[in-house]
A and B are shown apart, each in its own frame.
Chain A
Amino acid sequence: MILNGVAIDDEFAEAFGMKATRIIITAQNLTWAYHAANTATGFATSVIACGCEAGVERELTPAETPDGRPGVSILIFAVSGKELAKQIERRIGQCVLTSPTSAAFAGIGGGEPVALGQNLRFFGDGFQSSKLIAGRRYWRVPVMDGEFLVEETTSVVSAVGGGNFLILAETQPQALTACEAAIAAMKKVPNVIMPFPGGVVRSGSKVGSRYKALSASTNDAFCPTIRGITKSQLGPEIGAVMEIVIDGLTAPDIAASMKAGIQAIVDLGAKAGVRRISAGNYGGKLGKFHFRLREIMAS
């Protein structure tokens, strides 16, 4: 399949089941909502070493937030509900409770309830108080700038993590420009995050390593500077490869996001230096979810 001069490989992205939640963070203004949200979703690129994968999903108008203030929604993904609960408490406690004027609310329902402010309330040292409003319990924790308002629980739902595609371009700047266009389009798709810096990862990995201590190592088949000495998947026209990883609440959300991103790159076309789109997988035996590039682009 060739779209606007860009070859779409007959490959598929292999993704895994995860647990996820959405949290709404509000503040006096959008700047401070972002300060809290960006801190809470920092160092959350991969479950391999961060405990979770997290990112800002979208901005919310005052009419969309529970307390009528500007806010953003974040999504947090982890490999288990237990690990997710631990990450929620740490990140909201250290990054949102601490952020001036902030408040935090559950942004999703229907799943297993886990603590959001249920334990953070004890920071109030006995001066905290709760309110049951429209069937949902909120905690008011006294802090130095007023009150930290936090909902007691949020919901954990089943989700999908590890959707991806690779952008193969002639040069590094061209690959990055294409990724930026893709991320801009993908940010308009709800229910997904791209957890790596700026949404893009340049250190795609393969399973295993020649070093016993490492379970994963650089994906040498896609590293252009060693293509002469490894079993490379790159032709001579490829000078840089970048990857976009997607976590989503459902498989269709990830498929929609991948389509939006790839389409944005295809719109740039081969004249922008993008030659191929591929995807990362483990042979199809590890992940429950397979996203076939050509099927997604043909749909």
Chain B
Amino acid sequence: MSALVLTLRSRPAQRVDLLPLTAQPLAGRSIRDIAALPLPSGNRTIPLGELFAVEGTPGTEIEIRNSCDQLDRIGAGLAEGRITVTGDAGAFLGIRLAGGTITVQGRTGAWTAAGMTAGLIRVNGNTGDFLGGAMPGDHQGMKGGTVAVRGDSGDRTGDRMRRGTLLIEGNTGDYVASRLVAGTIAVWGTVGRFPGLAMRRGTLLLRQAPAELLPTFNDCGQYPLSFLTLLARSWRDLPGKFAGLPDGGFAVRRYMGDLANGGRGEILVRVG
């Protein structure tokens, strides 16, 4: 067994902070050391071994089994390696991720990938609000890397995002790409109200036209834009619908805005 396997014994009563798990490299540490890691939970700390059965080999690969939405900050600050989560995850999954891959079989909570700078996060279920957004107190959200969500995402997806890519195969809540500084957000499903609110630059690529567009976005016409082929090719190795975008490019209708904030962002709606 090459991965470190943590199996949650039962759903904890309080939320549990898993930051200590990725705060220091695990390679070279014993199972006993890892089981003794103090995990903040409510107003006390609990040894990791009390919550999880620990087995396997400590290294760059971690598997969290029987996970639930009470486990926060999974993979926070991870710089390399792989984390696989079987079940759901709580808030702040992959915040400030600087490399490596996190795969979640279930749902994730709010602020997933907030402040992320590199790496890949895959979520097979839905994810909460502020996906790739700015952590409270931060000026900017995600600054690099890729997040691929097979389900839906909540409100304020990509809020203040600076760079990187968010791919959402399902629907998003309201205010997707709000205050977007730059980067790319692509949505296969529908988006909620007021996409691109106060976006400065960056791209919101949609498969279908939004039901409600802010009056501060102007229609700039319909074009085949060749950079979309480069984007589509960069997504080819990812699982899911975005890997199947046509290679020869496709036409989009381009709306530029938010004119209330410079107007250099774009909402591209696929045509045909």
Minimal beta-carbon separation of A171 from chain B (angstroms): 50
User: Cβ of A133 and Cβ of B249 under 8 Å apart?
Assistant: no
User: Cβ of A68 and Cβ of B247 under 8 Å apart?
Assistant: yes
Q: Contacts A129-B264, A131-B184, A132-B163; is A147 near B231 (CB within 8 Å)?
A: no
Mark interface residues in A115-142 (1 if CB within 8 Å of B CB, else 0): 0000000000001010111100010100
Mark interface residues in A243-285 (1 if CB within 8 Å of B CB, else 0): 0000000000000000000000000000000000000000000
A127 to B264, CA, bound (A): 7
11 contacts between A and B (CB under 8 A): A26-B226, A66-B233, A67-B226, A69-B226, A69-B248, A129-B264, A134-B234, A138-B230, A146-B223, A147-B225, A147-B226
User: Cβ of B163 and Cβ of A133 under 8 Å apart?
Assistant: no
Q: Contacts A62-B248, A67-B249, A68-B248; is A131 near B231 (CB within 8 Å)?
A: yes
Residues of B contacting A169 with CB < 8 Å? none
Decide if A157 is an interface residue (CB 8 Å cutoff): no
Q: Contacts A146-B223, A146-B225, A147-B225; is A131 near B230 (CB within 8 Å)?
A: yes
Decide if B229 is an interface residue (CB 8 Å cutoff): yes
For residue B164, which residue of chain A has the nearest CB? A132
A26 to B230, CA, bound (A): 13
Residues of B contacting A140 with CB < 8 Å? 225, 227
Decide if A103 is an interface residue (CB 8 Å cutoff): yes
Residues of A contacting B163 with CB < 8 Å? 132
Residues of A contacting B230 with CB < 8 Å? 66-67, 131, 133-134, 138, 149
Residues of B contacting A133 with CB < 8 Å? 227, 230-231, 234
Mark interface residues in B217-249 (1 if CB within 8 Å of A CB, else 0): 000000101110111011000000000000111
Decide if B201 is an interface residue (CB 8 Å cutoff): yes
User: Cβ of A67 and Cβ of B223 under 8 Å apart?
Assistant: no
A66 to B230, CA, bound (A): 6
Minimal beta-carbon separation of A133 from chain B (angstroms): 5
Tell which of A68, A127, A129 touches B229, judged by Cβ atoms closer than 8 Å. Answer: A68
For residue B266, which residue of chain A has the nearest CB? A129
Decide if B203 is an interface residue (CB 8 Å cutoff): yes
A131 to B248, CA, bound (A): 19
Residues of B contacting A69 with CB < 8 Å? 226, 229, 248
Minimal beta-carbon separation of B261 from chain A (angstroms): 15
Mark interface residues in B177-193 (1 if CB within 8 Å of A CB, else 0): 00000001000000000
For residue B146, which residue of chain A has the nearest CB? A134
Residues of A contacting B184 with CB < 8 Å? 131
Residues of A contacting B234 with CB < 8 Å? 133-134
Interface residues on A, range: 10 to 19
Residues of chain A at the chain B interface (Cβ within 8 Å): 26, 62, 66-69, 103, 127, 129, 131-134, 138, 140, 146-147, 149
Known: A62-B248, A131-B231. 4 other contacts (CB 8 A): A62-B247, A69-B248, A129-B201, A133-B227
Within 8 A of A (CB), among B243-272: 247-249, 264, 266
User: Cβ of A147 and Cβ of B227 under 8 Å apart?
Assistant: yes
A138 to B229, CA, bound (A): 12
Residues of A contacting B264 with CB < 8 Å? 127, 129
For residue A130, which residue of chain B has the nearest CB? B182
Residues of A contacting B203 with CB < 8 Å? 131
A131 to B165, CA, bound (A): 11
For residue B256, which residue of chain A has the nearest CB? A127
User: Cβ of A149 and Cβ of B226 under 8 Å apart?
Assistant: yes
Q: Contacts A62-B248, A67-B249, A68-B248; is A131 near B233 (CB within 8 Å)?
A: no
A131 to B265, CA, bound (A): 12
For residue B247, which residue of chain A has the nearest CB? A68
Residues of A contacting B233 with CB < 8 Å? 66, 68
A140 to B223, CA, bound (A): 14
A140 to B184, CA, bound (A): 14
A131 to B231, CA, bound (A): 9
For residue A147, which residue of chain B has the nearest CB? B225
For residue A66, which residue of chain B has the nearest CB? B230
A147 to B228, CA, bound (A): 12
A66 to B233, CA, bound (A): 8
Minimal beta-carbon separation of B163 from chain A (angstroms): 6
A149 to B228, CA, bound (A): 11
Residues of B contacting A132 with CB < 8 Å? 163
Minimal beta-carbon separation of A60 from chain B (angstroms): 14
Residues of B contacting A146 with CB < 8 Å? 223, 225
